[in-house]
Structure 1
Amino acid sequence: MKIIHDGDTIQHYLVKYQLDNLFMQSQPNSVPLQLRIYEPNELILREGEELDGIYFQVAGKTKVSSSVETGKALLLRFCHPLSVFGDIELIQQVVIQSQVEAVEMTTFLFINKRTVETELMTSYTFLHELLKHLSYKLQTCTTASRINLLASVEERFASYLLTTRLKNEFGKEMLTPHISEIASLIGTTPRHLNRVIVKLNEMNIIRKEKKKLYVLDWERLDELSNGMLYD
Structure 2
Amino acid sequence: MKDYNKKKIPRATAKRLPLYLRNLTILDTKGVARIKSKELSDITQVPSATIRRDFSYLGELGRSGYGYDVAFLIEVFSHILDSNEESRIAIVGFGNLGKALANNNFRRNENLIISCVFDTNPEIIGKTIAGFYVYSMADFKQIAQEKNIRIAISTVPSEHAQEAIDIVVNSGITAILNFAPDRVEVPDNISMRYIDLTTELLTLLFFDHNYKKTPLAVTS
Pick 1 or 2: higher relative contact order, CA cutoff 8 A, min separation 6: 1
Bigger proportion of residues as strand: 1
Q: TM-score, normalised by structure 2?
A: 0.28
Q: TM-score, normalised by structure 1?
A: 0.27
